[in-house]
Amino acid sequence: MIPLNDDVPTEGPAPRPRAHRRPVRTSITAIKNASVVLAAIAIVAMALIMLAESIMRYAFSAPLGWNVSAVERILMPMSVFLALPWLYVTAGHVSAEIIYDRLPARWRMTARVVGHILLLVIAAALAYSGLVTVVDSFDLGDAPPPGSSEVPMPTWIWQLSQPVGTAALFVVALLDTPRAIGEDQALVEDADSEESVLAAEGSDAAGSDPLHEPITTDRDDSSRPRGDR
C-alpha cells in the first residue's frame, strides 16, 4: 500500500490525487493529524505519570496509587485505538509479502480487494462492539467505587477510545477505497510489464533487485571495449 500523506517517503512514484479526490484527501489528512496528536498525547501522559509515580514513591514515600489504572485502562487503549487512522494512512502496519510478491497481478488485485473489505468489516465490528460497551456502561452508571485505586471517572469515558478510533479507521479506509481499488486495477493493466507492477506496488525497481539483474556472460563481457571492463 502506498502511504497517503506526502511527507512519508516511498520507494516508488506515488500517484498524484485527482482534482475530485482532493476534498477526500483533505478529510483523510485531517483525521490522520487528529489521530496522531491524540495518540501522542496519550503516550506523553503515560511517560509523565510513570515519572511522577517514581518520584513520589522513592523520593517522598507517597505513591500516587491510581497510576496503574490510568495507564492500563485509559492511556494505553488511547495510544492504540486512536493511532489506527494514522497507522493506516502512513502504511505503518506490519505486512508479510513473501507469498504476495510472487502472486500474478490479478491474484494480487483479488488479495488486496479482499484484504480491504476485511479491514472495513473488522473496523466496523470493533466500532459497533465498543459503542455497545460504552452505552451499557453509561446506562448502568458504571464507575470505580470511592476510595479505590482507580481514576475516579465514569467507565464509559475511557471506553470511548475503542469506538472512536475504530470508527475513524473505518471512515478513512472507506474514503480511500476508490484509490485502493484504482491502484489494484493499475496492477492488472500493467501485468505485461514486471517493472510496472513493481512500481505500482511501491516496491523496489527491478534494477535494484539482485533477482532481476541481467546475467552477464563471458561473450557479453568480451564484446565490451577493454576500458569498460
Instruction: From first to last of the 229 residues of the chain, give the pLDDT tens digit.
Output: 545 544 444 455 555 555 667 888 889 999 999 999 999 999 999 999 999 999 999 998 888 888 888 998 899 999 999 999 999 998 887 777 788 888 888 888 888 889 899 999 999 999 999 999 999 999 998 888 877 778 888 999 999 999 999 999 999 999 988 887 766 555 445 544 544 544 555 544 444 444 334 334 444 444 455 544 4
User: How far is Cα 152 from Cα 139, in angstroms, rounded to an integer?
Assistant: 18
Question: Model-level pTM?
Answer: 0.71
The Cα angle at residue 219 between residues 215 and 225, in degrees rounded to 5: 100
Q: From CA 75, how far away is CA 42, in angstroms rounded? A: 5
